[in-house]
Amino acid sequence: MTTTRESVRLLCKSIITRLENRKSIAFPPRLRQIVADEVFNLVGPYIISEGDIREKALAKMGARAELLEDSQFTESEQFRAAKAVIKASLGDDELNGFFFQKPVKVVANSIAAYLMRSSHIDDVYETDEELEKQIVETVKTFRIEDAH
């Protein structure tokens, strides 16, 4: 199963839900979606999904389609080649179909910092380090199939 932007949104929601369930953070239930959306807006740009790569590959192919018409490549070969080039440019920080543009620990640090300063969060019961550890663990064990 390929990941999409919605998968990234579900990952962010999963992080918040796990922290809340473990009593690491507390906030009014009516703000759950707002908190999840704010986390997504904060770290979403640093997490590239398979769907994003597919869109970039198609765009890259479209721009070069006229150059490739004379070659013997099939469209699927062109598409695979374009995806490979894009993936190679993303680096090695890939987890469960998500490509992290910053190390996962840096993303976790950003989320922990947000939780500490957010007016939507009533209490944080863990240290920054413990929050980061739980966030990284959630990212590592996240399965989109289980998130629905």
Q: Are strands 94-95 and 98-100 parallel, antiparallel or unpaired?
A: antiparallel
Name the pTM for this structure: 0.79
**For the segment 104-139, what is each residue's pLDDT rounded down to a tens digit?**
999 999 999 999 999 999 999 999 999 999 999 999
Q: In 44-127, which ranges are continuous DSSP H helix?
A: 50-68, 75-90, 104-117
Q: What percent of the chain has pLDDT over 90?
A: 50
CA distance 88 to 94: 11
DSSP annotation of 31? G
Please report the pLDDT score of residue 128 as a whole number. Answer: 93
